Structure 1
Amino acid sequence: MKPRYFPAASGGAQPAAVGRAPARAVAGPGAAVREMAVSLGPARLALWALVAAALVAVGYRMVAGLGASTHLTDVWPWGLWKIVGVVVAIPLAAGAFVVAAWVHVFRHHGYEALARPAVLAGFIGYLTAVASLVVDIGQPHRIWHPIVMWQPHSVLFEICWCVILYTTVLALEFSPVALRALGWERPRRALEAAIVPLAVAGATLCVLHQSSLGSLFLIAPGRVHPLWYTPALPLIFFVSSVAAGLATLQILTWVTGRLYGQAVGERLKAGLARGLTVVLGLLLAVRVVDWAARGTGPWQATGLEAAMAWLELLVGIALPLVLLAWEWRSGGIRWRLLAAVLAAGGVFLHRLDVGLISMRQAANGAGYFPSWMEFLVMAGIVALGMLAYDWVARRLPLFER
């Protein structure tokens, strides 16, 4: 017999003891663990296990230092945590400012169904970048110093402040969803009334710090390979961040549709694909014109650098453009997701080339390959971001129109 439910004095619902006690009351700890495993699912359990292992590695890094836990040296001071966790993660989270500006500034409200998932993904993406930076800094307890110790002539100082301010903007843009779930209507309405200034501020901050990430590598002309060292690097970083944001949104719509049943209209998906096509075409033109103007290019280089440049150009830009063009011609949608994955991977590869591969020759034979602890911590940070998105998506009205 199923237990009957009667309202309790506190307004909740309490099960009445009818017949036998529920099995949970007499089950042992093993049954409780099995029940929790079933409710979480194998994927979430694996992610939590990865997070737990990464926390142990982070604890060891904080106690033993960077030298004992990483393969970083004075020749290679920037490694996996900073290049992938910050330089690569930030453009992949750029879909938030693209959609927010498109919806609230340019008033294309038909894309509003994508705004909240995109803003949440961007907010979590920036938090993962901050987490990677905290782990990577030699003295993480001093991470607050740029807030009070200003150095306005430093590119890193500008990036730091833009990331702080834009993360705050993302939190404010997403907070109406949480406030609505809490029933706090007055602050929710106040923040929704300010959504346009917030979107303008977010777009401005993103333009500044996405391009500044490119400017950061211009201060090392003797280390960055000529294939990537160019005055156009800030422009390339900004355009590629828009491409990465649109590609990530394409992937996000597919993932949320599979996991949470969010039905994103075909018109919205086609609009994202058209936007990605335009931005990829612009990125291809900028890269080729820049190489031609400087008299260099992968066709004039040799070795690993030339191979990586060809890979990011052909597989990360040209092939997605061909797939999207073929999709338009054939009228099908089979290649859209693959094109988005390749485009996001192309931006990932370009940032990896600029931050690591391009400095290989200047290292005078001193190589760098991340330690297993660096891989573990990075994977744990990504897993924690995925769990955070999943937790919010299952508890807040994220996909409600």
Structure 2
Amino acid sequence: MESNPHIKTWTPATIVMVVLIILGSAVAVYRMLYGLGAATNLNDGYPWGFWLGLDVLGGVAMAAGGFIIACAVYLFNWKKYRPIVRPAILTAFLGYLMAVIALFFDIGHPFRLAHPAVMWQYHSVMWVVAMHVIFYTTTLGLEFSPMLFERLGWNRALKAVNKIMIGAVIFGVMLSTLHQSSLGAVFLIAPSKMSPLWWDTKLPFHFLVSAVAMGLSMVSFETMLSYKFLKHKVDKEVFYGLARGSLIVLSFYLLLKVYQLFAVASPGMAFDGSVEGNMYLLEMLIGVIIPIAVLCVKKYRTNLGIVFSVNMLVIAGVLLNRLNVCLFSMEQYNTWRGVTYGPSWMEFLLSLGIISLGVFLYKMSAKHLPLFSH
């Protein structure tokens, strides 16, 4: 199979991405040589900073679209979504790879990243998260492999993988569901540090539901970009269906958040003018309330330009939620202790490099692999 001639390898956007990858790599080398203290502004009050909040928690939530669309196509046989199943799986696979890369640079001893696989601590939520990442990244690699085997002409390997694909998808759905929720469970250990606007015993469930909303919006968002820039033609009904799914999930998520606001926190906390209150209102406004209000109107839900904007709002809202949980929810507690944190320019630059690497690999896959053959 030949490379896709409609996709140009070098464009101004691709050159910018390559420059960001190079600069991010330089920061990565500096971090490895001189440690976290030299490259970041992390401290004992904020040991999990911008990298973990955006690249790991946010990146894993972005990848949720992979198990959702794979489940819809391979398990429920919703043929309408078959044209986007491979891009969704690739997005999830790259999302997890990028999260692993970010985690490698974020932890204090990066070369101990593989320790959970051989040093089992099954009473630890962190160990559960680590094992889910290992297993699900491997499963995504298996789901991605048919594209590579088709490109290489390895027909026997392709047939073998196709025979076990249903089982792999079932295993992947189970793993991803557990993993998305277990990321929220990590923060259950900090009830005294986190604001009640976010901390709740149902936080794992919040993480799972918001990840599903993020996954649907992310699949719709990247498919629209592929439609425009990579010549991937998709029936508009696919976008309308994803928008309906986002509306249903976001409405359920809003009910969860409202229940928490009244049962665990209090409405006054959201309007007291504090950093936590303002960040909570911003997260809810751009990521939940505005998208629901827009998608409730059918003529807006079937307008691709408006749906594209809503997708960006949902993605930004869930990313903000992850940063709020990881950082801003502990603002008042750390202020009392005299601890502050602001990401260094190196943290921003490495994150941009990791994101650029993911986008670049997606484009190269679209050009050289049968990504859109479905």
TM-score, normalised via structure 2 length: 0.94
1:368 corresponds to which letter in structure 2? Y
1:238 matched to 2:211: no
Q: Which amino acid aligns with 1:340?
A: N
Partner SS, residue 360 of structure 1: helix
> How far apart, CA to CA, are the structure 1 residues paired with 2:287 and 2:151?
40
Structure exhibiting the larger radius of gyration computed from Cα positions = 1
Alignment pair present for 1:303 and 2:274: yes
Shift of 1:332: 3.8
1:313 aligns with 2:284: yes
Residue from 294, 306, 317 that aligns with 1:323: 294
Aligned to 1:360: 331
Question: Moved runs in structure 1, 4+ residues, more than 3 A?
Answer: 297-302, 327-334
Cα pair distance change 1:109/1:200, threshold 3 Å: same
Residue 189 of structure 2 aligns to a residue whose secondary structure is coil
Structure 1 pair 295–51 and aligned structure 2 pair: CA distance change class (3 A): closer
Aligned: 1:157 with 2:158: no
Partner of 1:42: 12
Question: How is 1:2-401 mapped onto 2 (pairs within 5 angstroms)?
Answer: 40-297=10-267, 298-299=269-270, 301-328=272-299, 332-363=303-334, 364-401=337-374
What is the letter of the counterpart of residue 92 of structure 2?
Answer: G
Pair 1:130–1:39, CA change in 2 (3 A):
closer
**What does residue 21 of structure 1 align with?**
none
Give the distance between the partners of 1:395 and 1:330, measured in 2 at CA: 34
CA distance change for structure 1 residues 331 and 172 in 2, over 3 Å: closer, same or farther? closer
For 1:191, give the aligned amino acid: V
Tell me how far apart the structure 1 counterparts of residues 129 and 318 of structure 2 sit (CA, whole Å): 19
**Post-superposition shift, 1:294?**
2.1
Contact 1:327 1:334 in 2 (8 A): no
Q: Compute the displacement of 1:39 (Å).
A: 5.7
Larger RCO, structure (CA 8 Å, separation 6 or more): 2
- Inter-partner Cα distance in structure 2 for 1:49 and 1:249: 26
Q: TM-score, normalised by structure 1?
A: 0.88
Is contact 1:47-1:387 (8 Å) kept?
A: yes
Quote how far apart the aligned CAs of 1:295 are: 4.8
Number of residue pairs matched by the alignment:
364
Q: Distance in 1 between matches of 2:185 and 2:175?
A: 15
Amino acid aligned to 1:237: F
Letter in 1 for 2:352: A
Match of 1:367, as an amino acid? Answer: T
Contact kept, 8 Å, 1:327 with 1:335, in 2: the verdict is no
Q: Which residues of structure 1 form unaligned runs of 5+?
A: 1-37
- For residue 278 of structure 1, what is the amino acid of its counterpart? I
Measure, in 1, the Cα distance between the counterparts of 2:209 and 2:264.
Answer: 19
Output the amino acid matched with 2:26.
Answer: V
The farther-off stretch of 291-300 and 120-129 is 291-300
**1:334, distance to aligned residue in structure 2 (A):** 3.5
The sequence identity of aligned pairs, in percent, is 39
C-alpha deviation, 1:110, in angstroms: 2.0
Could you list the per-position Cα deviations for residues 334-377 of structure 1 after superposition, in whole angstroms to 9, with x for gaps in the alignment? Answer: 41111111111111111111100001111123211111111111
Task: Determine the C-alpha separation between the residues in 1 that align with 2:48 and 2:126.
Answer: 14
Q: For the Cα contact (< 8 Å) 2:239–2:304, is it kept in 1?
A: no
CA deviations 1:249-281 (Å, max 9, x no partner) are 111111101111111101111111111110011
| The 10-residue stretch of structure 1 (346-355 or 329-338) with the greater mean CA deviation from structure 2 | 329-338
- Bigger shift: 122-131 or 66-75? 66-75
Distance change in 2, residues 1:194/1:229 (3 Å)? same
One-letter code aligned to 1:116:
R
Distance in structure 2 (CA, Å) of the matches to 1:279 and 1:295? 23
Find the aligned partners of 1:269 and 1:329 in 2 and give their Cα distance.
12
**TM-superposed deviation, 1:330:** 8.2
Give the match's secondary structure for 1:218: helix
